[in-house]
Structure 1
Amino acid sequence: MTASRGAVLHTLCILVLMSQLGSCTEVAPSGVPSSTADYTDPWSDNSETVDYSDFVQQCQKEDVRSFRRTFLPAVYTLVCLLGLLGNGLVVLTYLYYKRLRTMTDVYLLNLALADLLFLLTLPFWAVSVVRQWLFGRAMCKAVHGLYRLSFISGMLLLMCISIDRYFSIVRAASAHRLRSRAVYCSKLVSVGVWLFSAVFSVPELIYSDEQTVEDTVRCRMNQDNTTFIYTTSLQLSFGFLLPLLVMTFCYCVVVRTLLLARNFEKNKAIKVIIAVVLVFLLFQLPYNSVLLIDTIADVNATVTDCALSKRMTMALDISKSLAYVRCCLNPFLYAFIGVKFRNDLLKLLKELGCVSSEKLLKLATMRPTASGVRTTVVTDTDSTTTYSP
Structure 2
Amino acid sequence: MAQSSQVLNCTDIDDILEKYYLSPFYAFEFCVGFPGNLFVILGYIFCLPEWQSCNIYLFNLALSDLVFLCTLPHLSYLYAHDQSGISPFACIVNRYILHVNLYSSILFMVWLSMDRYLLIKHPMKNHCLLKRRAALIITGLSWVAVNVEVTPMIRLMIQDLQNGNMTRCKDFASLNGDINVFGYSLGLTLTGYLLPLLGLCVFSHQIAHLLHVQERALQRRTSSYKRPLRVAVSAAVMFLVLYSPFHVLRNVRIGSRQPWAGLKLCTRMYIESLYIFSRPLAFLHSVINPVFYFLMGDKFRDLMLSRLRKLFRRKELQQEPA
Q: Pick the TM interval, shorter chain.
A: 0.7 to 0.9
| C-alpha deviation, 1:164, in angstroms | 1.5
Correspondence 1:1-389 to 2 at 5 A? 60-131=10-81, 132-169=83-120, 171-172=121-122, 176-178=125-127, 182-209=131-158, 210=161, 217-220=167-170, 222-224=175-177, 226-261=179-214, 262=220, 263-302=222-261, 304-336=263-295, 338-349=297-308, 353=311, 355-356=312-313
1:266–1:163 Cα change, 3 Å? closer
Q: Deviation string for 1:307-345 (max 9, x for gaps)?
A: 322221111111111111111111102434543222222
1:284 CA displacement:
1.1
Q: Structure 2, unaligned stretches of length 5 or more?
A: 215-219, 317-322
**Is the 1:64–1:314 Cα contact (8 Å) retained in structure 2?**
yes
Residues 137 and 264 of structure 1, relative CA distance in 2, 3 Å threshold? closer
Aligned equivalents of 2:182 and 2:270: distance in 1? 22
In 2, Cα distance between the equivalents of 1:349 and 1:338?
16
Find the counterpart in structure 2 of residue 362 from structure 1: none
Measured on the aligned residues, the alpha-carbon RMSD in Å equals: 3.0
Query: How far 1:357 moved relative to its partner?
Result: 5.4
Distance of aligned partners of 1:338 and 1:190 in 2 relative to their CA distance in 1, 3 Å threshold = closer
Offset at residue 269 of structure 1 (A): 4.4
Pair 1:139–1:216, CA change in 2 (3 A): closer
Per-residue deviation at 1:225? Answer: 6.5
> Structure 1 residues 154 and 260, CA, compared in 2 at 3 Å: closer, same or farther?
same
The 3 A distance-change label for structure 1 pair 141 and 216 is: closer
Taking the aligned partners of 1:140 and 1:294, their CA distance within structure 2 comes to 21
The one-letter amino acid paired with 2:198 is L
Give 1 or 2 for the bigger CA radius of gyration. Answer: 1
Structure 1 residue 267: Cα displacement: 4.6
Which residue identity is paired with 1:187?
A: L
Q: Normalized against structure 2, the TM-score is what?
A: 0.82
CA contact (8 A) 1:93 1:348 kept: no
Change (3 A) 1:197 1:345: same
- Paired amino acid for 2:193: F
Cα 1:212–1:292 shift into 2, 3 Å: closer
What is the one-letter code of the residue matched to 2:285? R
Shift of 1:112: 0.3
Task: Answer whether contact 1:303 1:309 (CA < 8 A) is retained.
Answer: no
Q: 1:345 to 1:226 in 2, by over 3 A?
A: same
Which string of whole-angstrom CA distances, capped at 9 and with x for unpartnered residues, describes residues 322-378 of structure 1? 111111111102434543222222244456x5x33599xxxxxxxxxxxxxxxxxxx
Count of matched residue pairs? 301
Structure having the higher helix fraction is 2
Contact 2:11/2:269 (<8 A) preserved? yes
2:313 counterpart letter in structure 1:
S
Change (3 A) 1:328 1:119: same
**Aligned-pair CA distance for 1:238:** 2.4
Q: Quote the offset at 1:246 in angstroms.
A: 0.6
1:214-271 superposed Cα distances (whole Å, 9 cap, x missing partner): x993113643374313431232022210111111111111012123334232454443
Shift of 1:300: 4.8
**Cα distance, 1:211 vs. partner?**
6.3
Matched letter for residue 335 of structure 1? F
Report the Cα distance in structure 2 between the residues aligned to 1:331 and 1:295, rounded to whole angstroms.
32
Between the aligned partners of 1:197 and 1:153, the Cα distance in structure 2 is 6
Task: Name the TM-score, length of structure 1 as normaliser.
Answer: 0.69
- TM-superposition CA deviations, 1:126-146 (whole Å, max 9, x none): 111111333311212222222
Letter in 1 for 2:96: G
- Residue by residue over 1:84-127, the C-alpha shift from the partner in whole angstroms, topping out at 9 and shown as x without a partner, is 11111111111112445321110000000011111112122211
In 2, Cα distance between equivalents of 1:135 and 1:64 = 19
Q: Alignment partner of 1:205: what SS?
A: helix
Unmatched segments (≥5 aa) in structure 1: 1-50, 360-389
